[in-house]
Amino acid sequence: MTPSIFLKPGREKSVLNFHPWVFSGAIARVSGSPAAGDEVRVCDYQERFLARGFFNPDSQIRVRLLAFSDTPLDSTFFEKGLRRAISLRDSILSPQTNACRLIHAEGDGLSGLIVDRYAEVLVAQFNARGMYLRREEIGKILLDITGARHLIDRSDAKALAAEGLSAAAKEPAGDLPQRIEILENGHQFEIDLLHGQKTGFFLDQRDNRRMIGELAGGKKLLNCFAYSGGFSVYAAATGSQTTSVDISKVAVEQARKNFALNGLDPAAHHFEAANVFDYLRHIEGDRYDIIVLDPPAFAQRKGDITKASRAYKDINRIAFQKVRENGLVLSCSCSSFISEDLFRKILFGAAKEAGRLVQILARPAQPPDHPVNIYHPEGEYLKTVLMRVL
Ligand code: SAH
């Protein structure tokens, strides 16, 4: 029989609101003796069924809920959930794009599972105990549904540590490809599947990169936190002169390669392996028409919010000071702990300190292959503000 978890009185509320996490403090007792990763039924204090999920006594998130009906979390369940997620991507991607987020964890009702598709290769992160233990089963279903040739497991060691698992860093076995070229809105990018950051590419910036491509039109662009040159390639393809800055030498080399892949001469553009905080301070003012700021998540947890806010304010203030009159600044934050409201306040403070008038032109969020579960607002992490600086 499937073990059951009984919640304390009143703690059923969030489950009735379809929130996918049950924290340790909400649990009154456990019947049966579920092992880490086992399927459990979650009930209220009167023993009424609420949901099913995977149990993990070693995580703050004690149960990750996957179904709010009393049906087993077996391969039929996974096949249905994975197909539903994949059909969304099939319906929104153009033939000019063959890389996308296929499974976006809670956003697709599959807490703990992230899968990115790069042409015929899937890169998966099984970032929760229950998902990790079922990775072979899930992997087979994924390959079967998508017809992809390979699946690479790049589960995140930090996420797994929080789940009480020390997955040894391993080189994926077999004849897996190391690198692959993908197409995004008609631009080519080479992805380092085994060693690239995250799963290899920041797919969540696809729509913003296209927006910058449309605005660039031969203007001068400074791309800060450029990684493999995404924004720069889009802009250079319109005749823009671009400068790409990233602290990672490997990323900067990849950016150069990506220029060449697209028939753009890297020698006609600037690439800098540098810390953006130093670099921005030393550039001459008035040189750039467009500045893109796409930093890593400065706030990784709640306790980082104050320090992170300062860092966001710093780079935005300098960008506002240095961009050309009537130039554009595209500013992003991918920290889920920095709310949209707080980010706006940070930008307000930065603009005021820079002493420039700033107009907000657009506020795009994450693209539709990174859906947000309405019951899990924590999943809405990417904030972008396009501004004109007078
Ligand atoms: N805009 C990119 C994604 C950026 S991810 C794209 O479109 O693909 C964040 C990047 O910031 C990473 O490549 C990381 O190497 C870089 N980075 C982190 N801290 C940095 C710093 N202080 N200065 C410069 N780059 C930094």
Q: What is the CATH number of the domain that holds 242?
A: 3.40.50.150
pLDDT of res. 172: 59
Query: Residue 338: what pLDDT?
Result: 95
For residue 240, is it within any domain? yes
pLDDT of residue 169: 57
Confidence (pLDDT) at 174: 67
- What is the total count of domains within the chain? 3
What pLDDT score does 286 carry?
79
Q: Which residue has the tokens 């994949």?
A: 86
Query: Which pLDDT score, from 0 to 100, does residue 151 have?
Result: 97
- Based on the domain organization, do 266 and 132 belong to the same domain? no
Regarding whether 155 and 211 lie in a shared domain, the answer is: no
Does the Cβ of 231 fall within 6 Å of ligand 1? yes
- Taking the centre of ligand 1 as the mean of its atom positions, its distance from the CA of residue 225, in whole angstroms, is 3
pLDDT at 166: 84
Question: What is each CA distance from 107 to 16, 81, 104, 273, 369, in whole angstroms?
Answer: 18, 12, 5, 35, 9
Host domain of residue 19: 4-67
Say whether both 88 and 130 belong to one domain.
yes
Please list the rounded mean pLDDT of every run of 10 residues in the chain (390 residues).
Answer: 97 98 97 96 98 97 98 97 97 94 98 98 97 97 97 95 79 78 98 96 98 96 98 98 98 98 98 97 90 96 94 97 97 95 98 98 96 96 97
Q: Would you say residue 186 lies in a domain? A: no
CATH for 34 = 2.30.130.10
Domain membership flag for residue 282: yes
How far, CA to CA in Å, does 76 sit from each of 22, 72, 108, 147, 295? 24, 9, 16, 18, 40
pLDDT value of residue 176: 85
DSSP state of 293: E
Reduce the DSSP state of residue 266 to 3 states and report it: helix
User: Are 87 and 57 found together in one domain?
Assistant: no
From ligand 1's centre to the CA of 25, what distance in Å?
Answer: 37
Same domain, residue pair 137 and 14:
no
Instruction: Kindly state whether residues 347 and 263 are assigned to the same domain.
Output: yes
What pLDDT does 162 receive? Answer: 92
Residue 192 is assigned to a structural domain of this protein:
no
Q: Residue 247: what pLDDT? A: 98
What does DSSP assign to residue 16? H
Residue nearest to ligand 1 atom 23, measured at CA: 275
171: CATH = 3.30.750.80
Q: Token match 């996918």: residue?
A: 20
Shared domain for 55 and 83, answered yes or no, is no
Pocket test for ligand 1, best of 227, 233, 307 (most atoms within 8 A of CB): 227
For residue 22, give the nearest of 58, 53, 1, 46 by alpha carbon.
Answer: 53
